[in-house]
Each structure stands twice: as structure tokens, then as C-alpha cells.
Amino acid sequence: MNGASTFGRRAVWTAFAVLFLLHHDFWNWDDRTLLFGWLPVGLAWHVGFSVAAGVLWAAAVRWAWPEEVERWAESPEQGQPVGS
């Protein structure tokens, strides 16, 4: 992996904005529909939303993670105790 691409970062931020807007599912607030006979549609929506958020986080780590942070964390001087 050659670092976070501009496209990858933009795609992740765009997906984040879409999920942010979809999180406020006002269209399900008054819907009493049950899926599978027992699962409220609003709860099902949030199950799907949680899965999508997990997929977005995996995409962010894969395509938009700043590798300079990794290099900094793995640098030799980071392993030294404070004051030595």
C-alpha cells in the first residue's frame, strides 16, 4: 500500500457524509412494520447502518489511513521511556 490516496480519502469522507445523513432515519419513526414477524423496521435499519459503519471503518483503514502516523509510531525514538 502506497499511502492514502486523495481519491480514497474523498470516497471515505463522502461515504461518511452519506451515512451521517442516513443515520437520522426520520422516515422510520412512525413505521410499525415488523420484519420476520418480530423485528421492528427501525431496529433493522440500525442493524444495517451498524454493518455499513463497520464496512466504512474498514475502508477508511484500508484506503485512507495516514501512513505517516504509522511511521511515527514505529520510529525508534517512540520506544524509549520518558526521561532516558
Residue-wise DSSP of 22-34: HHS-GGGTT---E
**pTM to 2 decimal places:** 0.72
Is the residue at 58 inside a domain? yes
Check residue 5 and give its pLDDT: 76
* Residue 81 within any structural domain of the chain: no
Domains held by the chain: number: 1
The residues pairing with 39 across neighbouring beta strands, listed in sequence order, are 35
Q: Evaluate whether residue 64 is within a structural domain.
A: yes
Identify the domain containing residue 43 by its residue range. 6-73
> Which residues of the chain are under the pLDDT cut of 70?
1-4, 78-84
The whole-number pLDDT of residue 47 equals 95
The answer as to whether 50 is a domain residue is: yes
CB-CB contact of 50 with 25 (8 Å): no
The C-alpha atoms of residue 16 and residue 50 are separated, in whole angstroms, by: 12
